[in-house]
Structure 1
């Protein structure tokens, strides 16, 4: 059912297509009429019960032979001559269906034709020709009489309605075939689909916890999901971000814990900046002192998302063009501060791996409860790996149905190879039916404290 729910559109389209093809085939198919006659095969026998039983058994054995005889040239050629048919023996045999009910001495001759009258004429003519041929082929008895005889017991009548096409049956078969093909293509696409979609997919790739599953919302609601500078947090997945805040609070317990962490992703457009800004907001709403640093010095997005001036920021602090105290921007609620990316430098990796960056991290870790760094994706560049190795670890955001399993696995391996700590994975944009949420929670507007 999960597979069908995921690919219900293509499954439904396949069903409708097969039904449409069945309907078209039915319309284009010429009507065919079927008429049937019956021939009884009997054997001359004595008057005792044993002789009658032996005769009946012998007749049943002979039926199989006469079924083959019914479609031979010996039977069909006289029919062609009698009805003046423009058909060969083979073509006429294709119009016939000769059979015998089980454990009987009856042969049924059915003829198919586009004409109702001709189908009846063919069935009766073949039965009559089979009767004559039986008499010729039957072996003579001691007294010269034929031991096997054939009797026509049912004459074919002109059918009143065609036997084909059958619209109801064709449409039903088309629908059944559509269901089979639709489900088959859904299963095949599921097997071939390597995209990460569920928490189970993440669990297959790493032992790190899934910190939260953020539900999917329509594009019209995207603006309401971002933290804004106007006060308050407005987005439909507020409860999921609260769960992420709780999960982040447990990360590092039982060992040495640092307040800094990198928010990154495997590839672009997985929602890392959205996750970083909203996580910073909910942490600040809980009374934590939070510093959000836009460490994406290649394509900075925090300033635009929060609608703040990002002309000067992190890169300017690292190069000595500005002081940390002057360039940090206070945001509502009062516990949230932001350090924009600043001037886009030509050497981002060198700046992020410099001693100046290490000194900056050591300074802000003493001043804030949480330091969140929005870093570039892991696969295109090494910036996030460099930062993760200098901080308390990395949170990897994966968009459900977008990132491939191989991409996520490669990104996680990059962190492992740098001895960076993987704090957990956030599964973003999860369909609502799969999101790990409680049914009694409803989207809310979180007011600033």
Structure 2
């Protein structure tokens, strides 16, 4: 069994060695294409985010914290997240900022993420313009707070951290794209090499004869070169 495995591994390495330049060429090509797309073709996308805390409106000078009430608002955060993505809030923000975009396309760039086991909701918006990303999400948060009061008048929604203009893009992830392209290039080139080897049925060596006929080779005619 070990001998068969050794022979198989030796054959595999021989196949790879025979077409090593094809593997290198394909891998370099995919990596280079990915680098060109990541650095020169794909436009950077910026993401701005804003953190919001949701609770009960204060009544009087002091409010006694109730554990059950905290749990209730933790569960309500998911409902508030759906309100934040409602078309009413979206269309109000689009109209206020004068954006020339459809509501469905706008929704593709915004996310509302409830933070686990907290009363905090994080809103994020992605745009190719960093200033637009910050302005849009801050305006969206304001409209969300106004709209949510229609459904929960006693709710107290406060902004923890207003969105700042992002300095660095979140897309494309250049080095990750290049790494993925390199791995794919290696996998594709290896697959192509083994397919080519499988399709090649020509007899080139005495080993090929033994495999094909299952008979030992008793003699070899040498190649004579004219001097």
Q: In 2, are the aligned partners of 1:134 and 1:149 still within 8 Å (CA)?
A: no
Does 2:40 align with 1:33? no
* Residue ranges of structure 1 left out of the alignment (5+ in a row): 141-145, 212-247, 249-262, 264-271, 278-304, 308-449
- What is the rounded CA distance, in whole Å, between the counterparts of 2:208 and 2:57 in structure 1? 78
Q: Quick check: which one's helix share is greater?
A: 2
- The verdict on how the C-alpha distance between 1:55 and 1:17 changes in structure 2, with shifts beyond 3 A counting, is same
Does 2:22 align with 1:14? no
SS of the equivalent of 2:51 reads strand
- The verdict on how the C-alpha distance between 1:94 and 1:206 changes in structure 2, with shifts beyond 3 A counting, is same
- Residue 160 of structure 2, aligned match among 138, 144, 153: 153
- Residue 74 of structure 1, aligned match among 84, 88, 97: 88
Q: Which structure has the bigger radius of gyration?
A: 1
Query: How well do the aligned residues superpose, as a CA RMSD in angstroms?
Result: 2.9
- What is the rounded CA distance, in whole Å, between the counterparts of 2:117 and 2:215 in structure 1? 71
Residues 338-377 of structure 1 aligned to structure 2 (within 5 Å): none
**1:183 matched to which residue of 2?**
190
**1:350 matched to which residue of 2?**
none
**1:163 matched to which residue of 2?**
170
- What is the rounded CA distance, in whole Å, between the counterparts of 1:56 and 1:190 in structure 2? 66
SS of the equivalent of 1:160 reads coil
Does 2:141 align with 1:127? yes
- The verdict on how the C-alpha distance between 1:187 and 1:65 changes in structure 2, with shifts beyond 3 A counting, is farther
**1:92 matched to which residue of 2?**
106
SS of the equivalent of 1:103 reads coil
Instruction: Give TM-score scaled by structure 1 length.
Output: 0.42
Shift of 1:160: 1.6
- The verdict on how the C-alpha distance between 1:63 and 1:9 changes in structure 2, with shifts beyond 3 A counting, is same
- The verdict on how the C-alpha distance between 1:4 and 1:128 changes in structure 2, with shifts beyond 3 A counting, is farther
- What is the rounded CA distance, in whole Å, between the counterparts of 2:56 and 2:142 in structure 1? 18
Shift of 1:22: 0.9
SS of the equivalent of 1:38 reads strand
SS of the equivalent of 1:210 reads coil
Shift of 1:198: 6.3
- The verdict on how the C-alpha distance between 1:4 and 1:207 changes in structure 2, with shifts beyond 3 A counting, is closer
Deviates more, 1:161-170 or 1:37-46: 37-46
* Alignment deviations for residues 60-104 of structure 1 (CA, whole Å, 9 cap, x no partner): 322223223222212112211221212221121122132233333
**1:60 matched to which residue of 2?**
74
- Residue 117 of structure 1, aligned match among 121, 131, 134: 131
- The verdict on how the C-alpha distance between 1:206 and 1:20 changes in structure 2, with shifts beyond 3 A counting, is same
- The verdict on how the C-alpha distance between 1:210 and 1:38 changes in structure 2, with shifts beyond 3 A counting, is farther
- What is the rounded CA distance, in whole Å, between the counterparts of 1:74 and 1:63 in structure 2? 18
Residues 9-408 of structure 1 aligned to structure 2 (within 5 Å): 9-26=21-38, 27-43=40-56, 47=64, 51-52=66-67, 54-138=68-152, 146=154, 148-196=155-203, 201-211=208-218, 272=221, 274-275=222-223
- What is the rounded CA distance, in whole Å, between the counterparts of 2:64 and 2:204 in structure 1? 82
SS of the equivalent of 2:29 reads helix
- What is the rounded CA distance, in whole Å, between the counterparts of 1:105 and 1:187 in structure 2? 56
Shift of 1:18: 0.8
